[in-house]
Amino acid sequence: MNEKNIFIVRCGEAALKGQNKAYFEKMLVERLRKLIKRRFDDVEVRRQGGLIFVRADKAIEPDELIKEMSKVFGIASISPAVEAASDIGTIGEAAANYMKDIMEKTDIRTFKVDAKRADKTFPLKSPEIARTVGAYVLKGCKTLKVDVHEPDVYLFIDVREKVSYIYRQKIPGFGGLPLGTNGKGMVLLSGGIDSPVAMWMMAKRGMSIEAVHFHSFPYTSQRAREKVEELASIVAVYCSRFRMHVVNILPIQEAIAADCPEDEMTILVRRFMMRIAERVAKENGCGMLITGESLGQVASQTAEAITVTDEATDMPVMRPLIAMDKVDIMSIAKEIGTFEKSIEPYEDCCTVFLPKHPVTKPKIEKIKRSEGKLDVEGLIEKVMGDKETVDIFPK
């Protein structure tokens, strides 16, 4: 019966959504199929009885497949399993063989059976299933003992109609919600550590993503821009292929440098970024902006600076990292694979005109006075006119 490797995939929160359950599960299955297909042939993904079953050719390395599957948002856990016809004798034999296999690979002495039955018409109740299967295992694996308190192995038995499942691990996924189930946001994506993490976190909650990136070519190099595209393609593994809008903000920086106080450069540029991002968002059906700002991290992210930045746009701005420490942001970056790319030393548009002493407590009235010296609308139109759009594919 087990000519394929079988994996049980559990939906996380998606399973809690009442009437939407089927919809969320379908979206998850779709994402799972798409992601698996990138790397593997001969894998079947099927929804059944509130679970998702993945059947893969034996030639596919299970760990590799699990690694790929766990990049799909909405998955609570994954269990490599074996199946047996739903008859207590068959289940017992299969469980004993399953434990024999484990004993050949690892040194285990004790186990505990944890049984449940989704099929309430099954003639035995859960505790009886556990006792009976336990007896089969003890008979088949002479050196094993039962330990109900601290077993080396929990042997899970999931009895269902026709076919039952035996497994020992629940490998946690990222959780979250399936991609595409929660609107669409425009992330302001730099080449730094934070914004890719912010993007990933919003996508984890089911949000579809587009990105806008600002550069100051020729002050920033072609290589710096390529780095951002490479970074984006790492995040695209999780949040699917997406569009990135690339805007040269240099004319705005030059206008500010010519007409406004030097110490206001950063905050003024950030307000322009928000305005431009809002326009690009509206043109592309995005209802929110997303940034990688974190309270107090740098001068442009003090409470006052964030308030003044926020004032430039009417769109809701999601700042998923706002209350996170840098070390925690960095550990997510490492986990999702963006960190190494982010720390490659390429210049960013914000560093090109970095003031020596940026204002840390900007006042909105004063900032607006400075903006009064600029042709805000004209400048935005100018840079928008030269905007490029690139498709980012998963790496």
- DSSP string for residues in 183-232: -EEEEE--SSSHHHHHHHHHHHTT-EEEEEEEE-TTTS-HHHHHHHHHHH
- Tokens representing 98 are 């399953």
Contact at 8 Å (CB) between 245 and 388?
A: yes
Binding partner of residue 79 among Mg ion, ligand ATP, none, CB under 5 to 8 Å per kind?
Answer: none
- Tokens representing 360 are 């840390």
Binding partner of residue 213 among ligand ATP, Mg ion, none, CB under 5 to 8 Å per kind?
Answer: ligand ATP
- Tokens representing 368 are 């607006």
Site map (CB under 6 A) of ligand ATP, residues 344-383, x = contact = ----xxx---------------------------------
Nearer to ligand ATP, 293 or 310 (CB): 293
Length of the chain: 395
Is the preceding peptide bond at 178 cis, omega within 30 degrees of 0? no
Contact between 300 and ligand ATP by CB under 6 A: the answer reads yes
CB 301, min distance to ligand ATP, A:
6
Contact between 278 and ligand ATP by CB under 6 A: the answer reads no
Nearer to ligand ATP, 178 or 292 (CB): 292
Distances (CA, A) of 94 to 8, 97, 101, 166: 17, 5, 11, 8
Residues binding ligand ATP: what is the number (CB under 6 A)?
Answer: 20
Site for ligand ATP in 212-241 (CB under 6 A): 213-214
Binding partner of residue 301 among Mg ion, ligand ATP, none, CB under 5 to 8 Å per kind?
Answer: ligand ATP
CB 285, min distance to ligand ATP, A:
19
Nearer to ligand ATP, 79 or 291 (CB): 291
- Tokens representing 231 are 């970074």
In the list 293, 318, 359, 371, the residue contacting ligand ATP (rule: CB under 6 A) is 293
Angle 68-96-67 from CA coordinates, rounded to 5°: 5
Residue with smallest beta-carbon separation from ligand ATP: 192
Burial 51-70 (b: 16+ CB within 10 A, else e): bbbbbbeeebeeeebbebbb
Contact at 8 Å (CB) between 363 and 227?
A: no
Angle 202-203-205 from CA coordinates, rounded to 5°: 70
CB 212, min distance to ligand ATP, A:
6
Q: Are strands 163-167 and 75-85 parallel, antiparallel or unpaired?
A: antiparallel
Contact between 97 and Mg ion by CB under 5 A: the answer reads no
Site for ligand ATP in 181-200 (CB under 6 A): 188-190, 192-195
Contact between 292 and ligand ATP by CB under 6 A: the answer reads yes
Site for Mg ion in 183-202 (CB under 5 A): 190, 192
In the list 2, 77, 297, 360, the residue contacting ligand ATP (rule: CB under 6 A) is 297
Chain residues binding Mg ion by CB under 5 A are 190, 192
Chain residues binding ligand ATP by CB under 6 A are 188-190, 192-195, 213-214, 273, 291-293, 297-298, 300-301, 348-350
